[in-house]
Chain A
Amino acid sequence: MAQSQRVQVLGTAAGALAVVALGAGLYLGLVVAPPDFQMGELQRIMYVHFPSWIAVALTYFAAFVASILYLVKRQDRFDYWAQAGAEIGVVFNITGLITGSLWGRPTWGVYWTWDPRLTTTAIMLVTFAGYLVLRGFMEDPDTRARVAALVATIGFLNVPIVYFSVKWWRTLHQPQSSPSTVDSDMVRPLRIMMVAFVLLATYLMTRRVALAEAEGTAEREALQMGAANG
């Protein structure tokens, strides 16, 4: 079996497991877990908010590693993984920001504030959305892959800043909680939803890589035909 086929089989398995984990996580998070003693039912947003950011970290990291590998090895497959990581990361970045805003309105009184954590996550979204837009402007596949790899590499530098922003600056956003201080009925669904989102992100990345491969192969063939005819 070719490597790309193995990746697709792995992706299908990840997708199937993601559906099971999502079902279990939603049941435990919405039915079994108790409401928080301070935030009440609102705390249940955490079961989709935090896993979104775990998926963001994973996919942007994949884009970063693949971009570095592309710059070193100049192989198209790394460019395919980089664009998959960036695109899936943007999707989870959006769900993370939406759920965060919906948590912020009843908690802080506003949907949005220019707080260091919120601002750095917004910059992250704009950077990687810009990466995707930039790709659409460049005709030459090699130039596009090289420039995109540089943008993703530089853009990823913001990710650790997002993580440490709640420690470095005074911010409305609370710092990371320790599982030891949280009821196990709340930790369990949170962990299962994290696994589910990671599996879903893995599934989506394998399919996005397949799309990039199909488009990349067609583009290379079209360029070769153009060169042969012209």
Chain B
Amino acid sequence: MDNVGFVTASYIATFVVLAGYTWSLWRRLRHARRNPPADPKR
């Protein structure tokens, strides 16, 4: 199959990482705006 599996894995990994980070960023941003942390550690 001419390494189609490696190509598929590359695209899935890239978009899972990017979508996962974007989702986590949205969640953190929403949380920070609604509930300002008392002791934010960054």
Query: With a CB–CB cut-off of 8 A, which chain A residues contact B37?
Result: 215, 218-219
Could you mark each residue 5-36 of chain B with 1 if its beta carbon is under 8 Å from any beta carbon of chain A, else 0? 01101110110011001100110110011001
Pair count A-B, CB < 8 A: 85
Whole-angstrom CA separation of A218 from B42 in the bound complex: 12
Query: With a CB–CB cut-off of 8 A, which chain B residues contact A98?
Result: 10, 13-14, 17
> Interface of chain B, helix or strand or loop or mixed?
helix
Whole-angstrom CA separation of A219 from B41 in the bound complex: 9
Query: With a CB–CB cut-off of 8 A, which chain B residues contact A135?
Result: 42
Whether A49 contacts B10 in the complex (CB less than 8 A), given A91-B18, A136-B41, A222-B39, comes out as yes
B3, B14, B33: which contacts A214 (Cβ < 8 A)?
A: B33
Interface residue stretch chosen among A34-42, A67-75, A120-128: A34-42
Number of B interface residues at 8 Å Cβ cutoff, please give it.
28
Number of A interface residues at 8 Å Cβ cutoff, please give it.
37
Chain A positions 152-207 with a Cβ under 8 Å from a chain B Cβ: 200, 204, 207
Question: By the criterion CB–CB under 8 Å, are B25 and A144 in contact?
Answer: no
Whole-angstrom CA separation of A208 from B39 in the bound complex: 18
Is A106 among interface residues, defined by CB-CB distance under 8 A?
A: yes
Chain A positions 86-102 with a Cβ under 8 Å from a chain B Cβ: 91, 94-95, 98-99, 102
Between-chain CB contacts (< 8 Å), 14 pairs: A42-B2, A98-B10, A102-B9, A103-B10, A136-B42, A204-B21, A204-B22, A207-B25, A214-B29, A214-B36, A215-B32, A218-B37, A218-B38, A218-B40
